[in-house]
Amino acid sequence: MSSPNLGNITSKFHERLGTAARLNKLASNWQPGEVYTFEHLYREVLPSSPKALSLILSELVEQGFLEKLIRVESPFTGGGIKDFSSLNEVPSRIYDFHSDREIEVEPDNLRVLFRVPHGR
């Protein structure tokens, strides 16, 4: 996968060069299908604030460098049950194969993740 130069995106949000360099370094190793949490990206990129990273990630999603997904996780094991591309797609109830029962989806069972798309 070719590594994008993401300096234009980070500078758009008035981030320092270090943020751009760390983001470019991380992106140079991205493989299609890899999934990252906000927390992981924050630790790796070290932006000036969580808000700055949120803006950067929104731009990366908009430009197709990343895909945002909502993962429903088992309240019993924490394991992923199913991924959705938007919150509107998440059902109110879902079968939790980790516990072999249907569960009601609660906010605590949702995690926002960022995936490197295939074919970029």
Q: Please state, rounded to an integer, the average pLDDT across all residues of the chain.
A: 89
Task: Give yes or no for residue 24 having a pLDDT over 90.
Answer: no
Structure confidence at residue 99 as a pLDDT band (50, 70, 90): very high
- What are the Cα distances from residue 109, in Å, to 50, 77, 79, 81? 21, 11, 10, 10
Q: What is the pLDDT of residues 66-91, one digit of tens each?
A: 999 999 999 999 999 999 999 999 99
3-state DSSP assignment of residue 72: strand
The residue ranges of every structural domain in the chain are: 7-59, 68-115
Instruction: Find, among 50, 98, 105, the residue nearest to 77 by Cα.
Output: 98
Euclidean distance between the first and the last CA atom of the chain, given in angstroms as a whole number: 7
Q: What is the residue whose two structure tokens read 């009601």? A: 104
Q: How far apart are CA 112 and CA 42, in angstroms?
A: 13
